[in-house]
Amino acid sequence: MSEIKIKIENLYKIFGPRAREYTNKVKGGIDKDELLAKYNHVLGLDDINLDIKEQSIQVVMGLSGSGKSTLIRHINRLIEPTEGTVLVDGEDITKLNKADLLEFRRNKTGMVFQRFALFPHHNILDNVQFGLSIKNLDKSESKDKAMYWIEKVGLTGFENKFPNQLSGGMQQRVGLARALAIDPDILLMDEAFSALDPLIRTDMQDQLLDLQKNLKKTIIFITHDLDEALKLGDRIAILNGGKLVQDGNAEEILLNPADEYVSNFVKDVNRIKVLKIGSIMNANGNKNESNPSVMIDESIENCLPTMLESESGLNVVDSEKNFVGVISKNNIAEILRKSKD
């Protein structure tokens, strides 16, 4: 479960004709603005080190220009790195030759794009089949697979329509089905839901989490929306100016932001909704038999009513109903006060 699927090491990307010469300058401490002003080269990624666990959802977050789209394109090498390695299952994909790279893309990675990038001249069925037809898969087999995924994303009956006859949400379902049809280990989602309106976006997020329960893919999800990141991400990596400033789970990022950039980012997050009881409980407290119990992975919000009714706090239990700690009103008050600062 916790095997590392993708290991990114010392990855640098500089855009411009003399990129290689300037990597040393970047290593010497020049930042993005200075590199642009002095040498007219754009710093895309600055010494990225990131381990992505198998079967997890790794969110990469940042404002536009922070390098998140550049980073995701290094995983299937749509962008060539200036320096560094990207290991997938221990194999350095930056060293693959042309033919091997095509094979890698055909079998290991599926990609979903912000603006869908469907093929306008193909109907839905042919769009979903695209990756399979590139592999020259047997026609009836590829059709069966495509129809399976069309059904999975809830588009049965639309297979003969063209992309522009579908709404945005439906088009992105096609994009998702197209990526999943080749049965990749790795799903790359580049702001996949950013172009959708909020209700549909929530729908798609739920559908993705639902699918992931059975699929267990390694998903790299790019977003600039913190709520989306907190909802989807097993881990969240935050980029700023091409640098990875923090990588951690939702609680770590909310409770211990690495720098001002991250704390500004998380300032407006509704903590009691996101934080779990486990992250604020007192593990050294003594069990009080007369108090009600709550689950360790419950959100604070969900146990607030019980909390307010209780006299002296709650017992916290894990999934096997074993006592693991206590939580008091003070613990919650502290969190609320912190988030106001």
Partner 1 sequence: MNLIEFFTSFPEMSAESLRLFKKSVDGAYRNFSAKYGDAIEAVFDPVLYFLVWFEKLLHNSPWPLVILALLGLVYLGSRSIYLTIGSLFAFLFIGYFGMWDDTMSTVSIIGVCTALTIGFGIPVGILMSGSDRARAMITPILDVMQTMPSFVYLIPVVMLLGIGKIPGLLAVIIYAIPPVIRLTDLGIREVNKEVLEAADAFGANRMQKLFRVQLPLALPTIFAGINQTIMMALAMVVIASMIGVKGLGQPVLKAITNQYFTMGLLNGLAIVALAIIFDRVSQSYGKRMQQHRAGANE
Q: Does 15 bind partner 1 (CB under 8 A)?
A: no
Q: Which among 51-59, 110-118, 218-226, 324-332 is the span making contact with partner 1, rule CB under 8 A?
A: 110-118
Q: Does 329 bind partner 1 (CB under 8 A)?
A: no
For residues 269 and 230, is the Cβ–Cβ distance under 8 A? yes
**Closer of 189 and 294 to partner 1 (Cβ):** 189
Q: Which residues, 6 or more positions from 44, have their beta carbon under 8 angstroms from its beta carbon?
A: 13, 14, 15, 67, 70, 79, 242
Euclidean distance between CA atoms 24 and 74, whole angstroms = 20
Q: Does 104 bind partner 1 (CB under 8 A)?
A: yes
Cβ 155 to partner 1 shortest distance, Å: 15
Q: Does 182 bind partner 1 (CB under 8 A)?
A: yes
Q: Does 187 bind partner 1 (CB under 8 A)?
A: no
C-alpha separations of 56 from 1, 23, 159, 316, 331 in Å: 9, 32, 31, 26, 30
What would the two tokens of residue 278 be?
Answer: 């486990």
For residues 108 and 186, is the Cβ–Cβ distance under 8 A? yes
Cβ 72 to partner 1 shortest distance, Å: 10
Q: Does 34 bind partner 1 (CB under 8 A)?
A: no
Q: Which of 119, 167, 304, 312 binds partner 1 (CB under 8 A)?
A: 119
Q: Which among 107-115, 203-211, 212-220, 238-246 is the span making contact with partner 1, rule CB under 8 A?
A: 107-115
**Closer of 15 and 130 to partner 1 (Cβ):** 130
Q: Does 106 bind partner 1 (CB under 8 A)?
A: yes
For residues 128 and 181, is the Cβ–Cβ distance under 8 A? yes
Q: Which among 16-24, 57-65, 116-124, 226-234 is the span making contact with partner 1, rule CB under 8 A?
A: 116-124
**Closer of 121 and 337 to partner 1 (Cβ):** 121
For residues 244 and 260, is the Cβ–Cβ distance under 8 A? no
Cβ 195 to partner 1 shortest distance, Å: 11
Q: Does 81 bind partner 1 (CB under 8 A)?
A: no
What would the two tokens of residue 163 be?
Answer: 């992309």
Q: Which of 2, 97, 164, 284 binds partner 1 (CB under 8 A)?
A: 164
* Other residues' Cβ atoms within 10 Å of the Cβ of residue 184: 21
What are the DSSP E strand ranges found in the chain? 4-15, 42-53, 57-61, 83-88, 91-92, 109-112, 186-190, 218-223, 235-240, 243-248, 293-295, 314-317, 323-327
